[in-house]
A and B are shown apart, each in its own frame.
Chain A
Amino acid sequence: MEWETVIGLEIHAQLATQSKIFSGASTAYGAEPNTQACAIDLGLPGVLPVLNREAARMAVMFGLAIGADVAHRSVFARKNYFYPDLPKGYQISQYELPVVQKGQLTIDLEDGTSKVIGITRAHLEEDAGKSLHEDFHGLSGIDLNRAGTPLLEIVSEPDLRSAKEAVAYMKKLHQMVVYLGICDGNMQEGSFRCDANISVRRKGDPKFGTRAEIKNLNSFRFVERAIEFEIERQIDLIESGGKVVQETRLYDPDQGETRSMRGKEEANDYRYFPDPDLLPLVLDDEFIAAARASLPELPDGKKQRFVEQYGLSSYDAGVLTASRELGDYYEATVAALGSEPKLCANWVMGDLAAFLNKDNRDIGQSPVSAVQLAGLLRRIQDQTISGKIAKEVFEALWAGEGDADAIIEKRGLKQITDTSAIEKVIDDVIAANPEQLAQYRAGKDKLFGFFVGQVMKLSKGKANPQQVNELLAEKLKG
């Protein structure tokens, strides 16, 4: 039996505003419990919400970035349910008329093809607080600092067909919101979280199967594992004569499995209705145009431009545009060097990336600036140093020993290009290895490499490799 998986994702991206969506309390992460929960966030009697302009602007930016229809009029609704981390007994969200409607995102698949994933809608809503389950004499503690943090809930069409596609979509979306500067993308802190709706059906069946919703997925790895587990579970269930029940399930990363959370599920009649404390969000053309004007170059466009402008491969362009900062760094390097974009790409993706990775740093925290890197590359370009020596210089740059020129000078790493100086070294090497010389002249060509190595060693790597090759070939002929 061949099975097909159908997945739709609901992604919650916390918007990177300073203050909350309906109050002036700070959204900063990690404060002492309830120190950033103001009267509005606590739902004190008599308090009222007022919408944060920046949250609306960020939602519009997202809508424009995914080619969606941005609603000129959208409505906030109340989603009513009781939960201790939900202070008012309702969540302010958007229901019938969301601010972003119908967009799409193109994802790149591992086989090199791409696929367009529909985005049904994206709406503004407020986050809830947190229940802490450490034991307080058998009670739970409620921290409402997060309550009222603005969220953009992005709902995809059920267009995803595998865990890998789901992850690719989620990564692409993550890249997008971070590019736009509307979300810090920090998944550990819960700034970007995912609920997955998963069902399976027999291949060719036009009808969707019954879906389960998995909540609480806050890493790409968990999304992949949870979906894979869930697919397996549903197929096993159906094949053994059972039925999938529509329910909410929780992924347990320790056990690597999903399990039912019926407790929260029962009687979810949310009684949505328009929030009478808020008026319709009316966005005029001017507001939308201003948001459009503030859009940065988006990942796909930047990637394409890198291919065309710098002659990079699609793969390299993809790596260099993975984040806005990396792309900016790369372009700053090329601009400072003034040529050889390929050389710049190799260094940014090679040594620089390796060092960043080793120290677990972002590009923004690189101790080597783009200008410094270009200074190093310039010395490769003008043959002051060889590529090999450049690696040594880069390490010194990373360690903060100054600019490339100063390091080269201080360490005496300047390449030897003076023919007579190189000839002298070659002469010394030949004189010291009569046996190898004889063998070479007798036809053992591969000893050429031995001589090159000896010359480079004696010159401490500073002899210009090309000149060494030429002069050595000449001298060895005799």
Chain B
Amino acid sequence: MSLGPAEVAKIAHLARLAIREKDAPAYARNLSAILDLVAQMNAVDTTGVAPMAHPLDMAQRLRADEVAEPNQRKHFQAIAPRVEAGLYLVPKVIE
């Protein structure tokens, strides 16, 4: 599988990463090489093999429905880039 700079740009947009135009060919090259490496998987027939999402065959544990978290807004917002009136500020959200 070979990716060109245009495809890289598309993926980068999905991932919300600004990639400078001059870096795009190098990323395209690296990504293509990685996908070639990954393509070795195709040598094996995996028909009927159950996908393995977790190393351990366990079930989800359930938590009691209890309020256990105090208000820590001040503490958490001390590390925020920009807050006002308790809100995180971002450039205008257009809906």
Contacts and interface: CB of A to CB of B under 8 A. Distances in A.
Contact of B14 (A25, A76, A140, A267): A267
B71 interface: yes
B22 interface: no
A44 B94 contact: no
Interface residues of B, number: 35
Given A24-B68, A140-B92, A274-B53, A35 B62 contact: no
Given A140-B90, A279-B59, A282-B59, A18 B66 contact: yes
A269 B94 CA distance: 20
B63 A24 contact: yes
B87 A56 contact: no
Contacts, number: 128
Contact of A34 (B67, B69, B77): B77
A322 interface: no
A402 interface: no
A55 B53 CA distance: 23
Interface in A241-285: 250, 261, 263-264, 267, 269, 271, 274, 276, 278-282
B60 A133 contact: no
A263 B59 CA distance: 39
Given A136-B84, A279-B58, A264 B16 contact: no
- The binding surface of chain B is classed by DSSP as loop
Contacts of B69: 19, 23-26, 36, 38-39
Interface residues of A, number: 55
Interface string A92-128: 0000000000000000000000000000000000000
B61 A51 contact: yes
Contact of B65 (A52, A83, A267, A271): A52
A82 B63 CA distance: 28
Interface string B75-95: 011000010111111111111
Interface in A117-162: 131-133, 136, 138-144
Contacts of A463: none
A438 interface: no
B86 A32 contact: yes
B20 interface: no
Nearest to A283: B59
B71 A53 contact: no
Contacts of A36: 69, 71
Interface of A: 17-19, 23-26, 32-39, 42, 44, 50-56, 75-76, 82-85, 131-133, 136, 138-144, 250, 261, 263-264, 267, 269, 271, 274, 276, 278-282
Which 7 A-B pairs have CB atoms at the shortest separation, nearest pair first?
Answer: A141-B87, A24-B68, A54-B65, A53-B62, A282-B59, A38-B69, A142-B88
